[in-house]
Amino acid sequence: MYRRFKDITMSAKKELDLAVAADGDQRPKAAPNKEEKPLISSKAKFSPFFRQFLAASGPIIATLSSGMTAGFSAVLLPQLKSPNSTLKIDHDQASWIASMAALPMALGCIFSGVLMERYGRRMTQLLLCVPFLLGWVLLSLATTVWHLYVGRFLTGFSVGLLGPPSIVYIAETAEPRHRGALLATVTLAISVGILLSHVLGTFLYWKVAAAVSVFFPCLSFGLFWICPETPSWLAIKGYASEAEEAFHWLRGYSDQAQGELKVILSKKPASRSDSKEGSFKRLAHSLRSIFSLSFLKPFFIMNVFFFVQQFSGVNAVAFYSVDIMKTVSGNVDEYLATIVIDVIRVVMSLATCILLRQFGRRPLGLISLVGTTVSLLSLAAVLKTPFYKEYPSLSWLPTGLLASYICFISIGLVPLPWVMTGEVFPAAHRELGSGATSFFGFFVFFVVVKSSPFFFSTLGMVGTFQLFGGITLLGTVFIFCFLPETKNKTLEEIEDLFSKPKPKPSPESAEVV
């Protein structure tokens, strides 16, 4: 199936494949077929980084639509609760509208893991654009609560489908020095999507805002169409020539790139070799590799990381931001405060793309967790004893602490689990590892979003922020003890990092110490 689809899209990518990069491309390329209409002028030259960024643009735009899905309920629910709304909802329906998008995300991860193993990372992302498009169209045309449920379900299911293949696709198409920054743009896209959704919902009727959102899955589909499959997946499936072609399209012909290509092509094609073995032998081999340290260690670390991420309250704030701001912002207009918080989130997500090129994963993760913990517990203390209400000059204090929380959580705790999920699993089980980990992350996502109204009503805003702060405090200790550093390492080096035990110090070095 891959070869048939590749033939269909080859003409769309022909000109990009023939444009020779200035950054290390050395092989002469054949002239383009005159009978084919080139997509991009043959006079243009595209560097490997440009091509890698172009490949990452499809997942990034699709993820922007994911952010809009997360932020849409924050403006949809207040409009539906308005006395002028033609579609009336009660409190229970409101919680289901908000959480209905989170409910199928975990299910989408399971499907995407199967799809991207069988059909590839690129094809899976092309397919998920369809339910994304249908979900937004249904929301824009909704006349009943059930239309809202189904529309939110489809967009949420698409978010789940997108999670594993998007990060794996970017991780496998980007070179090590650009990988962290490009993966961090996924979180930036979520922040921009939340901001865009809130801005559209503030100034437009919710149906119009949903109609505008239809544009982004369409744009993402077009970007996926012109970019290649990842070389790693092609090599594992036994498509050696296609893997080499895709690798050169993305990375050029520099000496460093050639060395990495040899490592990728040296891997034994699983699909062809396994076909000669019995089903029992294949199953036994698969189980042995799954229960190896190279899989179990990153699986355990990333699941705990995702649990801490979600129970830091980041999505509770995103889904119920307007309602939270009514409590926190005091005399400040809650819609204005929500947009200000969104802008801060975008700025810090953009800063994270730069910080990940300069600093490692561990320093950013620890700084983020410590800052998030301090901000949450301080906000809870301020809300518990609202002395700021007696001093008008301090009315900004709760909003300022919430902004501090957004700043710290955005530079590490939000992006790093997604960044590292695309890096830490071995190539043979990257689909399973990223899919299962994303499944757990989205499942906890749903639990937090669905239970947040219960937390707010029983524990109050103070108790809920104390709960979130306590969990991030424990998460700080865990990350300090177990999170490895993956900055500037190839995917093969990261795999070795987990599979090989740490060398014990020699007696001579122990004596010196």
* pLDDT per residue as tens digits for the range 196-255: 988 888 888 889 999 999 999 999 999 999 999 999 888 888 888 888 889 888 888 877
Under the banding of pLDDT at 50, 70 and 90, the label for residue 268 is: low
Q: Which of 295, 308, 355, 292 is nearest to 480 (CA)?
A: 308
Q: pLDDT tens digits, residue range 421-439?
A: 878 888 777 778 887 888 8
Q: Mean pLDDT score of the chain, rounded to an integer?
A: 79
Predicted pLDDT at 41: 36
Query: How much is the pTM?
Result: 0.68
Q: Which of 137, 142, 138 is nearest to 85 (CA)?
A: 142
DSSP code, position 424: S
Predicted pLDDT at 503: 53
Predicted pLDDT at 426: 82
Structure tokens, 89:
């909802």
Q: How many CA atoms lie within 13 A of 120 on its CB side?
A: 24
Query: How many CB atoms neighbour CB 212 within 10 A?
Result: 15
* Distance of alpha carbon 142 from alpha carbon 135, whole angstroms: 10
Under the banding of pLDDT at 50, 70 and 90, the label for residue 33 is: very low
Q: Is the pLDDT of residue 375 over 90?
A: yes
Placement of tokens 């649990």 in the chain: 307
The Cα-based distances of 195 to 74, 191, 337, 341 in angstroms read 11, 6, 12, 9
